[in-house]
Amino acid sequence: MKRRLVIITGLSGSGKSTGARALEDAGFFVVDNLPLVMLRDFLKLTDRGNQPVAVVVDVRSSEFLEGCDRQLTLLRKAGYKVDVLFFEASDQDLVRRFSETRRRHPLALDEGVSRAISQERSMMAEIRGLATAILDSSGETVHELRRRALGVVLGADAAIQQLQVQVRSFGFRYGLPLEADLVFDVRFLDNPHFVEELRPLTGLDQLVRQYVLSQPDCQEFVTRVRDLLFFLLPRYRHEGKCALTIGIGCTGGRHRSVAIAEELQPLLLGSGCLIELTHRDIDRTGD
């Protein structure tokens, strides 16, 4: 059986990192921007167990791009089943993403982002023509793009089985997360905000975590929520649900909800789902 190798490539800002993380969560060994001269040695080193591999190749990998047709042919002759996933998006979406994240386009000099995007499209044209699948991320959420990438690589049925769970802390002061499917309110716990030395810290700090998690009611709460989710998650997956967002809320979203979300996330790793963790309001002041 041929070993699986997925080349993740495409335009800067189009979702290559999202695709790479999705495959990593699905069991692929993923490496970003590996120099071409090291690719063969890397594949040999990761050959144990026949683990599938994904390599991110972008405009920085000029050696690969200049002879990509020949390189792909050599890899296939060496016994690899090679797929090429090409990520792209509209110019409008790419410009907006670079503006929102304040990241610098790798080709942007004095000409600006729009000129850099046009130049990159030209440089990537050859490998785009060799792509197994082209994924246009224009207007898509991260969850939608993850599902499509998994569907292309693993097949539609396997992608559906990969329930993606987002554990998200938030502050009720700033409103409920609209995307939340389940919401748990932890405002019944003692608030670190009223402890002077803990107020400037967050639930990522050990002192706050200890203060919150040492409360007996907190330990029982985490245990009960974990048991409930282990009951629910396989049933959601069986019904074909692809993504689930779990909101953990306190007053300001900086202390209690963050500490409990951090505690809950690793407990769910054995559920067979893809678990992600985000803290919506951790950078706001107050709790």
* Full DSSP string of 127-163: HHHT-SEEEE-TT--HHHHHHHHHHHHH-HHHHHH--
Q: Would you say residue 285 lies in a domain?
A: no
Q: What is the CATH number of the domain that holds 35?
A: 3.40.50.300
The sign of the torsion formed by the CA atoms of 91, 95, 96, 97 equals positive
First to last CA, the chain: 55
**154 and 15 housed in the same domain:** yes
Sign of the alpha-carbon dihedral angle for 73, 134, 22, 102: positive
pTM over the 0.75 mark: no
Say whether both 153 and 244 belong to one domain: no
In tens digits, the chain (287 residues) has pLDDT values of: 677 889 999 998 889 999 998 888 777 888 887 766 677 777 777 766 677 889 998 877 666 666 778 878 888 888 888 899 999 999 888 888 887 777 777 776 656 778 888 888 888 888 889 899 999 999 888 878 888 888 888 876 555 556 889 999 999 999 999 889 999 999 999 999 999 999 999 999 999 999 999 999 999 999 999 999 999 998 887 766 778 999 999 999 999 999 999 999 988 887 778 888 999 999 987 55
Residues 85 and 192 in one domain: no
Q: Are residues 152 and 207 in the same domain?
A: no
119 phi and psi angles, rounded to 5 deg:
-65, -40
Are residue 145 and residue 176 in the same domain, yes or no?
no
Domain-terminating residue out of 114, 141, 161: 161
Asked, for residue 139, whether it belongs to a domain, the answer is yes
205 shares a domain with 144: no
Q: How many CB atoms lie within 10 A of CB 141?
A: 12
How many domains are contained in the chain?
A: 2
Q: How far apart are the C-alpha atoms of 109 and 125, rounded to whole Å?
A: 21
Whether residues 172 and 203 share a domain: the answer is yes
Is 17 within the bounds of a domain?
A: yes
Whether 198 and 261 map to the same domain: the answer is: yes
Q: Is residue 286 part of a domain?
A: no
Task: Report the pLDDT value the prediction gives residue 158, as an integer from 0 to 100.
Answer: 58
List the domain range (segments joined by +) for residue 253: 164-279
Q: Are residues 178 and 118 in the same domain?
A: no
Q: What would the pLDDT profile of 152-194 be if each residue is shown by its tens digit?
A: 888 765 555 568 899 999 999 999 998 899 999 999 999 999 9
Last residue of a domain, one of 127, 161, 195: 161
**What pLDDT is recorded for position 287?**
56
Over residues 237-251, the pLDDT tens digits come to 776 677 899 999 999
Same structural domain for residues 54 and 154? yes
Judged by DSSP in three states, 115 sits in: helix
Only one residue has tokens 């994240």, namely 101
Bridge-based pairing state of the strands 80-88 and 182-185: unpaired
Would 133 be classed as within a structural domain? Answer: yes
The C-alpha atoms of residue 205 and residue 6 are separated, in whole angstroms, by 38
Instruction: From 139, 161, 183, give the residue that closes a domain.
Output: 161
Please check whether residues 57 and 121 belong to one and the same domain: yes
CA distance 66 to 245: 42
What's the confidence (pLDDT) of residue 201? Answer: 95
